């Protein structure tokens, strides 16, 4: 092991956390997993036993404060993020936090303020689509002006199935949240209103789950974004985004690496079965870019940043939009997004 490797604590070694452990160990350079933690202690100990130089630490706050830890990956349940993020800030440990930043708007805003008071960017939020090659290409196309002014955006977010207990509000908070960030990323504007529509439910959806849902977003510049959310298709994992501008349109997420044509007049291809295949490269790029940024920040703390992607403000903005989305889901009416002005928090 190189003495210059970033020593990372991974908190939460469930589905996403275990993938991050494997990613850091086998596909990321310049870092290693030094500490793991999980509320299922046997799981953490089992993961640690398979990694050279790694220890399991039972208390997540002790793992964050551990002197052998340079940076933290939070893959724990959202309800634990506030306390763990505050501990990262208190210990001045850079952290890659899987969404959500926290589970409500007030605590997300408090995290933004606490980080701003430190005068250093330590929190990166895991909106991995910003690191996906197709989204990056679409962003460059928009920024280059080739489509002219973007006017309308159409999105589809489809899952073959969701875990037991996945409720209607989770469609907004856990699925739509990615399109919320994509909208802000691609269009460069805050979202000011949202409406959630609930068409006739999929007969195959679990009882009580409103699926599919349609989200209608409006940005500060008056741009329209609609999102089809359908999380029990039983088919595959599909994520598409189309931007329509004054000079043309562009779409990503078509899975057109291979399109087959055959008699009699049929054509088709494969669809990625899950998010792991669709966004695997995005996750790798996200973590590698974060590791590089943290190492650069540790080498030169005067830079004032240890992130290279969406930060605490982006997590807060997403939380505010999703909170309004849940309000609309309950009422059926459009809901205004309530946020403080970014320039009211120095350093946010």
**CATH numbers and ranges of domains, the chain:** 6-129+279-344 (3.40.50.720), 133-273 (3.30.360.10)
pTM of the model: 0.93
Give the phi and the psi of residue 32 in degrees, each rounded to 5: -145, 155
Q: How many CA atoms lie within 13 A of 306 on its CB side?
A: 27
**Sheet of 123-125, strand order:** 55-56, 31-37, 6-11, 71-74, 95-97, 123-125
Kindly write down the DSSP assignment for every residue of 93-116, as one continuous string.
Answer: --EEEPSPSSSSHHHHHHHHHHHH
**pLDDT at site 260:** 43
Q: What is the pLDDT along the chain (348 residues), one digit of tens a residue?
A: 356 899 999 999 999 999 999 999 999 999 999 999 999 999 999 999 999 999 999 999 999 999 999 999 999 999 999 999 999 999 999 999 999 999 999 999 999 999 999 999 999 999 999 999 999 999 999 999 989 999 999 999 999 999 999 999 999 999 999 999 999 999 999 999 999 999 999 999 999 999 999 999 999 999 999 999 999 999 989 999 999 999 999 998 887 644 444 456 665 666 777 888 889 999 999 999 999 999 999 999 988 999 999 999 999 999 999 999 999 999 999 999 999 999 999 999
Cβ atoms within 10 Å, residue 165: 8
Backbone angles phi, psi at 292, to 5 degrees: -60, -40
Residue found by looking up tokens 């999703």 in the block? 322
DSSP 48-92: HHTSTT-EE-SSHHHHHH-TT-SEEEE-S-GGGHHHHHHHHHHTT
What pLDDT does 143 receive?
96
Which two tokens mark 74? 């939070």
Residue 186 · residue 150 · CB < 8 Å: yes
Give the pLDDT of residue 262: 47
């Amino acid at each position: 092991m190189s003495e210059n490797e970033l020593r990372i604590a991974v908190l939460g070694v469930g589905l996403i956390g275990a993938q991050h452990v494997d990613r850091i160990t086998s596909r990321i350079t310049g870092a290693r997993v030094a500490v793991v933690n999980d509320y299922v202690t046997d799981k953490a100990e089992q993961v640690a036993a398979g990694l050279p130089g790694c220890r399991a630490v039972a208390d997540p706050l002790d793992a964050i404060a551990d002197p052998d830890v340079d940076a933290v990956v939070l893959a724990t349940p959202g309800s634990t993020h506030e306390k763990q993020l505050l501990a990262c800030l208190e210990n001045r440990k850079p952290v890659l936090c899987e969404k959500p930043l926290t589970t409500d708007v007030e605590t997300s805003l408090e995290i933004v303020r606490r980080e701003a008071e430190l005068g250093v960017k330590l929190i990166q939020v895991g909106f991995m689509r910003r690191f996906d090659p197709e989204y990056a290409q679409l962003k460059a196309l928009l920024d280059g002006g080739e489509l002219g002014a973007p006017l309308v955006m159409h999105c589809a977010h489809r899952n073959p199935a969701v875990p037991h207990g996945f409720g209607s509000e989770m469609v907004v908070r856990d699925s739509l949240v990615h399109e919320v960030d994509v909208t802000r990323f691609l269009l460069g504007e805050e979202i000011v209103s949202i409406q959630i529509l609930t068409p006739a439910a999929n007969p195959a959806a679990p009882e009580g789950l409103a699926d599919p849902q349609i989200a209608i977003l409006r940005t500060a510049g008056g741009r329209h974004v609609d999102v089809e959310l359908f999380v029990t298709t039983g088919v595959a994992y599909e994520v598409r985004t189309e931007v329509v501008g004054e000079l043309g349109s562009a779409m990503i997420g078509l899975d057109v690496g291979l399109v087959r044509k055959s008699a009699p007049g049929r054509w088709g291809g494969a669809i990625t079965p899950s998010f792991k295949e669709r966004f695997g490269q995005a996750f790798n790029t996200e973590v590698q870019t974060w590791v590089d940024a943290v190492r650069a920040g540790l080498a030169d703390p005067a830079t004032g940043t240890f992130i290279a992607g969406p930060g605490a403000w982006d997590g807060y903005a997403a939380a505010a939009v999703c909170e309004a989305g849940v309000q609309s889901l309950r009422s059926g009416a459009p809901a205004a997004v309530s946020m403080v002005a970014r320039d009211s928090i120095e350093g946010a």
